[in-house]
Structure 1
Amino acid sequence: MESGSRDAYGRLSYRGLIAWPERLKREEPLFRRVLEAAPSRRVLDLGCGTGEHARFLASLGFEPTGVDASPSQVEAARLADPGGRYVQGSLTALPGLVEPGFGAALCVGNTLPHLTEADDLRRCFTGLASRLLPGGRFLLQTLNYDRILDRGERTFPVMVRPGEEGAETVFLRLMTPQPDGRITFTPATLRWRPGTGAPLELVSAEEIQLRGWRRAEVEALLQESGFEVREVLGTMTGESWSPASPDLVVLAQI
């Protein structure tokens, strides 16, 4: 959700979508490998959401600053972490949001596709380059849209989590690929009460326009913005990238 548009994530319980302890345990070795080699322990968390990664990095001794365009996500992060630093604003305007001097940055999850134009992504990368120290590291992870677009995939796995009052919460995420590489993303939350007269109730649903960035496009824009691409992986646990990989993980340096 870009600055100035409606906050599409205000009604979606994204914090409950992810099993955070298990995810952070998987990601910790790569975080340490990238961030501990950075010229400073100050880290930008781009698209910080409700702040889980920022709080985890702080527990490892780093000094994170979270940035997110969604007012509701930033508010939730601040409530969960009153002593943390969270900034609300577009990733295309980083020079106006945070000062220079960071040793590293991360942008993980499905943040990058919310920048739907090449000029927007270029402004994000060039703005980030201006905020990093020489030798600064950048860890970028997104879904592998080479696989999604080439295969015409339409949905993510359905996720079920414990809910309230005997119900379960179902997270449904649908995708409609467009010919120009854009994707209409429809995340929905449902309340599931098996065995009742109305077993499935729609709690919320949104329609969000994304861009399915391919590996070649991401690498070209990073290099154009002053980054050197050092390594490309297919998962956050270190497997090599292939067109069938789950993720696109790019390790870059300024």
Structure 2
Amino acid sequence: MSVSERYREAWESYWRGTSDAPGEAIWDADPSLSAARDVDRLTPHADPSLPILDLGCGNGTQTRYLATRFGRALGVDLSHAAVEHARRADAAGAVAEFRQLSLTDAAAVGELHERIGDANVYMRAVIHQSDAPDRRLVAEAVATLVGHRGRGFVAELTEESKTTLARLAESPGGPPLKLRRVFDHGLRPADAGTTEIPELLVAAGLRILAEGPTALAQTEQWADGSRVELPARWFVVARAPGPGRVIHRGGSAPEHRVT
């Protein structure tokens, strides 16, 4: 079985074994704790009249929120089972659209761009758990889909998340059920290096307009009842007109870096 087939089947197996109950997936946090905050970081740089694509949409929780902030929202996922979850949650198709798509299939990604034109992109925690040979292709998919007018929001776990996950796995009684299911299906959270993410984005032809630290809220809790949050970093990106990065931090003047 090839690497990509193993990866695809891992996700199919995971989503086939997941119920439609909100929050059963460990990352399926309420949008108020995830997409709502992320969109507030994206919109100062983005044209809200463009559609938004939720890459790696899973069961569509965040996609349905994105549809309230943009005129059209389309969620795509590698897993057919995930897309079926998302469609069941929006059976009338009144809120968002969903379709199966592999971000490593450059031809299919190109066809999607031809069909909908330049779009804004939302991608939360996809690169870090992709197989290493596929990560560059995922970043290139973002570059293709934003085109010249769109903007992308990319959030990825940092290496510090491994420490947090290790602590959670060592909880009394062993890993909590939602984390155990991730491991049991062969998924590998926080597998990409922290510096690898921006390097991949730039190598894919993107420029980083803004970035900063964040934490991805999970649906598990610590023993004291507090929410588990995984250290992460977010990036707002656009297609690069040429070499170099332009980084905005808060209200400071842009910092230009040649890469």
- What TM-score do you get using the length of structure 1 for normalisation? 0.68
Match of 1:165 in 2: none
- State the match for 1:78 in structure 2: 87
1:11 Cα deviation (Å)?
0.6
Q: Which residue, 131, 140, 148 being the options, matches 1:116? A: 131
Q: 1:20 to 1:129 in 2, by over 3 A?
A: closer
Kept in 1, the 8 Å contact 2:146–2:152? The answer is no
Distance change in 2, residues 1:21/1:247 (3 Å): closer
Coordinate RMSD, CA, aligned: 3.4
Q: Which has the higher helix share?
A: 2
Match of 2:64 among 55, 73, 84: 55
Structure 1 segment 154-193 matched on structure 2, within 5 A: 154-156=166-168, 171-173=177-179, 187=182
* Distance apart, 1:212 and its partner CA: 1.4
Q: Which stretches of structure 1, 4 residues or more, deviate above 6 A after TM superposition?
A: 18-22
Partner AA of 1:215 in structure 2: T
**1:114 to partner: Cα distance:** 3.2
Gaps of 5+ in 2: 217-229, 240-259
Identity %: 22
CA distance in 2, matches of 1:153, 1:250: 23
Does 2:78 match 1:69?
Answer: yes
Report the residue type matching 1:79 in the other structure. R
Aligned with residue 226 of structure 1, among 199, 202, 205? 205
CA change 1:211–1:234 in 2 (3 A) is closer
- Assess, with a 3 A threshold, how the Cα gap between structure 1 residues 19 and 155 changes in structure 2: closer, same or farther: closer
Specify the alignment match of 1:235 in structure 2.
214
Residues matched between the structures, number = 207
Give the aligned residue type for 2:182.
P
C-alpha distance after superposition, 1:157-193 (max 9, x if no partner): 799xxxxxxxxxx63415xxxxxxxxxxx537xxxxx
Q: Do the aligned partners of residues 99 and 87 (structure 1) sit closer, same or farther apart at CA in structure 2, a change above 3 Å counting?
A: same
Q: By percentage of residues, which structure has more strand?
A: 1
Contact 1:42 1:103 (C-alpha < 8 Å) held by counterparts = yes
- TM score, norm. by length of structure 2: 0.67
Aligned to 1:45: 54
Quick one: structure 1 residues 133 and 208, their matched pair in 2 at CA, closer, same or farther if it must change by over 3 Å?
Answer: closer
TM-superposed CA distance for 1:92, in Å, is 1.0
